[in-house]
Amino acid sequence: MTNSNKPNILFWIIGIIALLWNAMGVNAYIQQAYKTDAFKAMYEEEHLEMILNTPSWVMAAFALAVFGGLLGCILLLLRKKLALIVFLISLIAIIIQMTYNVFLSKALEVYGPGVVIMPIMVIVVAVFLYFYTKKSIDRGWIS
């Protein structure tokens, strides 16, 4: 494996897919924060009541997580080292948000054990993006 300042094609594919993933997260946040009709239509009354009563500190963590992830992807694609710090902040916010969503809210009671699948996926993707960015810096693809 050679160290080159030019990223391979997989770097761009991962970056674009990650950008789309995080853009979907931003959309989910906006839908929930503004309580859109489309958002409300996705849930039964009991589920909606729980979601609409989410504490503001959790919503703040949600915003930091998704907007941080989106900004991190943009910085990754622009090949900026700042992406690593932004992904770390996003990951910390994700852990805070998911801890509330899974353990502190009544989500396990309302949705059942399947509720942990999406939080695990989100955390895995965030951890991957953090370490992939770190590896990209080590390879000289990001400066």
Do the beta carbons of residue 86 and residue 68 sit within 8 Å? yes
Please report where in the chains the tokens 């609409």 appear, as a residue: 52
Q: Distance (Å, rounded) from C-alpha 58 to C-alpha 103?
A: 13
CB atoms within 10 A of CB 105: 19
* pLDDT-above-90 percentage for the chain: 73
Instruction: Pick the closest to residue 74 from 119, 32, 129 (CA basis).
Output: 129
Q: What tens-digit pLDDT sequence spans the chain (143 residues)?
A: 455 589 999 999 999 999 999 999 999 999 999 988 998 898 888 788 888 889 999 999 999 999 999 999 999 999 999 999 999 999 999 999 999 988 888 788 777 888 899 999 999 999 999 999 999 999 999 99
Do the beta carbons of residue 100 and residue 60 sit within 8 Å? no
Residue type, 16: I
Please report where in the chains the tokens 């969503």 appear, as a residue: 101
pLDDT at residue 108, as a whole number: 81
pLDDT at residue 46, as a whole number: 79
Q: What is the pTM of this model?
A: 0.91
41-63 confidence digits (pLDDT tens): 988 887 888 888 899 999 999 99
Q: Distance (Å, rounded) from C-alpha 106 to C-alpha 128?
A: 28
Give Rg (Cα) of the chain: 17
